[in-house]
Structure 1
């Protein structure tokens, strides 16, 4: 990375990732939604096709900004019965790696995440590799162009067979 000008420093990117984790753990989903660019995407490939193409392959989640908006609206309403009452979550982010991104003024950040989800029935653990494409918004703050979450699970059976929270 030496000699390459990036849109943000490693510390700024790590702070952004920790801030996003806090927003999700605190169910401040509207603020999380606003982290996305207008062309942003949230993508969780199927567990049996982790390298899947979001435009061609079946995925657990493949949301554009409009899809993210709808997902947040459902999760914050009583329509998401599985999340009423809401799960308690705690995220641990680590092994952050940063490199220049494919677009002008973009950066790619990769990290590992452990998400603990507690419900009355017990606690489920999700392990994932997260890949972000980030770029500054009009206000200069980092925004998500892409958030790709690859779950380290052969199947979701051990997590109740569903993915009702945002990883």
Structure 2
């Protein structure tokens, strides 16, 4: 992968798509350490409360608002037997579609802002939950690929409609 191409090229768009598909596959395969290795040291992972996605996350309720340290702790808990909401762990299938490069690479870091739609299906203990929404990523080139500096998963519905809990990484 080369992250130095301009976003107007089909090759850059393809690289972004392949990165998002790989990221989704790592989560579905429960390869959480490999997934976490894709996170930039300054990563921000958010799931805004329904209806608050356009508001400042520093002053608004967020379902999830993790920095690198908290996200690392989340990954460690999900892999342990102490994550009761994920023991036994959920099985997930992610569909990532309508990938768009919104901006970038921009500035000295060559960051690109990317949007996509998602449908995450989770099965656990005989129950099927659906999470529908949009992703917004800020991707930073890292050698032959990208690192995620920002990952926002905005749901199109409330948490109750999705089973009442978000114990997985969306």
Residues 103 and 75 (structure 1 numbering): CA distance in 2 closer, same or farther, change over 3 Å?
farther
Question: SS of the counterpart of 1:166?
Answer: coil
Q: Find the counterpart in structure 1 of residue 116 from structure 2.
A: 111
Structure 1 residues 23 and 133, CA gap change in structure 2 (3 angstroms): same
Say whether the 8 Å CA contact 2:92–2:120 is kept in structure 1: yes
Structure 1 counterpart of 2:154: 150
Correspondence for 2:91: 88
Q: Which whole-Å deviations, capped at 9, do the CAs of 1:6-25 have from their partners, x for residues lacking one?
A: 49700000000000000000
CA RMSD of aligned residues (A): 1.8
Q: Would the aligned equivalents of 1:46 and 1:52 in 2 still touch at CA under 8 Å?
A: no
For structure 2, list consecutive stretches of 5 or more residues without a partner in the other structure.
none
What's the CA shift string for 1:33-63, capped at 9, x where partnerless?
1111111111111113122322221100110
Tell me how far 1:103 sits from its aligned partner. 4.0
Per-residue CA deviations over 1:91-116 (Å, capped at 9, x if unaligned) read 00101111323543111110000000
Deviation string 1:110-164 (CA, Å, 9 cap, x unpaired) is 0000000011232111101000000112x342010100110010x2112221100
2:130 is the counterpart of 1:125: yes
Q: In terms of mean alpha carbon deviation, does 51-60 or 121-130 score higher?
A: 51-60
Which residue is 2:40 aligned to? 37
Q: Give ranges in structure 1 of 5+ residues lacking alignment.
A: none
For residue 15 of structure 1, give the secondary structure of its aligned residue in structure 2: helix
Please say if 1:141 is aligned against 2:145: yes
Aligned length: 162
Contact 2:7-2:101 within 8 A present in 1 as well: no
Task: Tell me the distance in 2 between the aligned counterparts of 1:41 and 1:129.
Answer: 16
Runs of 4+ aligned residues of structure 1 deviating over 4 Å after TM superposition are: none
Aligned equivalent of 1:23, options 18, 21, 26: 26
Choose from 28, 46, 51 the match for 2:49: 46
Q: Say whether 1:163 aligns with 2:166.
A: yes
